[in-house]
Amino acid sequence: MNDLDPTDLQLLRILASNAKYTNKELAQMVNLSASPVFERIKRLENQGYIKKYIAILDAEKFNQGFMVFCNIKLKQHNKDIGHHFVADIMEIDEVVECYNISGDYDFILKVYARDMKHYQDFVFNKLGSVTSIGSTHSTFVMSEIKNTHNIHF
C-alpha cells in the first residue's frame, strides 16, 4: 500500500462505495481530469487493488432470501480430500461464498435458498453428495444488520 498516494486512496474509497461512477464523475470528485483518473484506475486494477466490479443483487427479489451459514467439518485432513471438497463446492450454485477457517470447523459456507424446505433439500441432496464432509452445522440468518464490502484503510 506504500505506492498509493492520497488520490489513489480516495478513488478506491469512492469506487468501493459505488463502482458505477464514470471517469468524468470520479475526476470531479478527486479534482483531476478524466484521463489521469482513467490511468490511475487501470494501474490500481493491474496492481490488484481492484479485483473486479460486480452488481450486488437482492436475493429477496429472486426468491432466494433465506440465508444460512453452514459450518463444515471434513472427514479427514489431507490434500486430496481438501481439493475434492473445494472442487465439489465450486459446482453448487446455492453456495455463494466459501472460506477455509480455523477452529472447530474447516470451512464455512454462505448459502442462499428459497426457504427451509429448499435448504433441507440442498443439505440432503447436494451437500449429502459431497463425500469428504464429516459433519455440518447450520446457522440461519434472521436479519442482515450490516453488509459492506468496503475495507477500512
Residues 72-99 have pLDDT tens digits of 999 998 889 999 999 999 999 999 999 9
pTM metric for this prediction: 0.86
Asked which of 9-13, 57-61, 148-152 is least confident by mean pLDDT, the reply is 148-152
Class of the CATH domain delimited by 6-46: mainly alpha
* Separation between Cα atoms, residue 20 and residue 23, nearest integer Å: 9
- Tens digit of each residue's pLDDT (9 = 90 or more) over 13-44: 999 999 999 999 999 999 999 999 999 999 99
φ and ψ at residue 148, rounded to 5 degrees: -135, 145
The number of CA neighbours under 13 Å toward the Cβ of 17 is 7
Instruction: Show the CA angle centred on residue 88, arms to residues 134 and 93, nearest 5°.
Output: 115
* Separation between Cα atoms, residue 104 and residue 5, nearest integer Å: 41
Pick the CATH number of 59-140 from 3.60.21.10, 3.30.70.920, 2.60.40.10, 2.170.190.11: 3.30.70.920
